[in-house]
Structure 1
């Protein structure tokens, strides 16, 4: 899903130029905030499997958000419907870093695909 500049600007205005996770001002961050914060466009909206949030190159506010929930490993799968991204299916591992296996990822993708066909999601 491509997000055009008009939509990007409107989202930034709606958020009052704050991170929607931690509410820190965009101007205080070393890099610009992105709309596609969790599953960036650079990854094509694909699955994001992070084995250790301490070592992964992610936005500082995203790392802080996960740390505040005591997350050590993170697996994110998009829930895609015909109109585009509907939401995210997320798994957290909180005890220690965790290598997400191909089976873990496949099961999450199956869950996301099942959710994407649910009538209550298709109606929204």
Structure 2
């Protein structure tokens, strides 16, 4: 399908579905990205991308794919998108339920969002808080 109709996103999305069944998740994500590039309103590509990312345990990226789908949706796929978001969240929290305390600390330390929050609070407490002492 992709050779016959290279601009049709369905071929890439269908191949992504087959790749997901074969557990070739990174390639499935690439095909979904190709489908999205060809038609940003093709919601099925976002859903399959999210499924592949959940299987790869990249839950934040999977949720981002759902958010992107909601932004592109005209209201006809809202229920499907909400269900996929729920699956992402369930997978994310069930994966964390069996963590040890040390695994949780390692995950938090490697999370870029936490890193930037720590930098922000360090900057605020170190540079801006002393200035408030002089503003009497």
* Higher RCO, Cα 8 Å, sep 6+: 1
The question of a shared fold, defined as TM-score above 0.5 by the shorter chain, is answered with no
Shorter-chain-normalised TM-score: which range?
Answer: under 0.3
**Higher strand fraction: Structure 1 or Structure 2?**
1
State the TM-score, normalized to the length of structure 2. 0.26
**Higher helix fraction: Structure 1 or Structure 2?**
2
